[in-house]
């Protein structure tokens, strides 16, 4: 009888000890799976943009789109130096900590970014956060989620070239060299371009609902034989209050009525 009790007791103790050890090990074993990281906790898919410092130009206007399939698109323009757009596409990987993405096969510039809440923090060559008085300038902010076409696309083409003005095609009547065009810059919300005879520059303001307002433009004072297109074009910039935008076309409206002007995107990319 004692022998039977002893065996039962030993089995019970063994079961108890096994259960205790199992319960004690569970949090440690599952810690990695439940740890919150940028990868598993944030809505990180989308496009991020900003102007980062540049050693020999006014700034680098930068846009990075990262997608759930781990692909990316990188676009940059060197302000005050070159109107061309530098573009790369490829894939990225999350580093082991789940907070940093690494752009693969990207040797031309910074390839690591710490992902924050609607922010990308550019990292230095050692993969560390940039500190000091310029730290805030190395942050890209989300300008569009992964499902939305957003006004950030205004800034991507080298030029928005005029194709239609007041309901009439213009690209068949004017040589390409005389076609009006404009380009938007994120830094300072500036716009500049060519109006058919003169150069112009000014500011713009974007608000919700695809609303846009242009400031009065500063225009050079050259005279040309035919100023009609330029006069109408600058008049459109003075009256437009809304726009429609897709990847390759920009349309300006007044009070959502008939289009005032239609532009096509023109890219001058350096690969």
Residue 160 pLDDT grade (very low, low, confident, very high; cuts 50, 70, 90): very high
Cα distances (angstroms) measured from residue 223 to each of 48, 122, 227, 229, 238: 42, 47, 8, 13, 21
For residue 176, the model assigns a pLDDT of: 67
For residue 39, the model assigns a pLDDT of: 95
For residue 208, the model assigns a pLDDT of: 78
Fold exhibited by the domain 41-147 = Lipocalin (2.40.128)
pLDDT in tens, 128-157: 999 999 999 999 988 876 555 567 778 878
CATH 2.40.128.270 residue ranges for the chain: 154-270
Report the predicted TM-score, pTM, of the whole model to 2 decimal places: 0.64
For residue 146, the model assigns a pLDDT of: 58
Average of per-residue pLDDT across 259-266: 94
CATH 2.40.128.640 residue ranges for the chain: 41-147
Neighbours of 238 (CB within 10 A): 13
Burial 138-176 (b: 16+ CB within 10 A, else e): bbbebbbeeeeeebbbbbbbbbbbbbbbeeeebeeebee
Q: Which CATH architecture has domain 154-270?
A: Beta Barrel (2.40)
pLDDT higher than 60, residue 23:
no
């Amino acid at each position: 009888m004692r022998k039977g009790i002893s065996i039962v007791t030993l089995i019970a103790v063994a079961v108890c000890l096994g259960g205790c050890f199992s319960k004690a090990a569970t949090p440690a074993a599952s810690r990695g799976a439940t740890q919150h990281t940028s990868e598993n906790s944030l809505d990180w898919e989308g496009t991020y943009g900003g102007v980062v410092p540049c050693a020999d130009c006014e700034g680098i206007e930068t846009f990075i789109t990262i997608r759930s399939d781990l692909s990316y698109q990188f676009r940059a323009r060197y302000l005050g130096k070159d109107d061309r757009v530098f573009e790369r596409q490829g894939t990225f990987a999350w580093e082991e900590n789940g907070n940093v993405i690494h752009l693969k096969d990207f040797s031309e510039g910074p390839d690591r970014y710490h992902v924050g809440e609607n922010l990308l923090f550019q990292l230095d060559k050692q993969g560390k956060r940039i500190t000091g008085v310029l730290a805030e300038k190395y942050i890209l902010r989300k300008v569009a989620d992964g499902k939305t076409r957003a006004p950030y696309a205004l800034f991507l083409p080298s030029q928005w070239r005029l194709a239609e003005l007041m309901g009439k095609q213009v690209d068949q009547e004017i040589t390409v060299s005389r076609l009006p065009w404009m380009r938007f810059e994120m830094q300072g919300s500036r716009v500049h371009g060519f109006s058919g005879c003169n150069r112009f520059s000014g500011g713009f303001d974007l608000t919700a609902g695809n609303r846009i307002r242009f400031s009065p433009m500063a225009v050079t004072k050259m005279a040309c034989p035919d100023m009609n297109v330029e006069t109408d074009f600058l008049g459109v910039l003075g009256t437009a209050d809304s726009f429609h935008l897709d990847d390759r076309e920009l349309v300006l409206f007044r009070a959502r009525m008939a289009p005032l002007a239609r532009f096509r995107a023109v890219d001058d990319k350096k690969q």
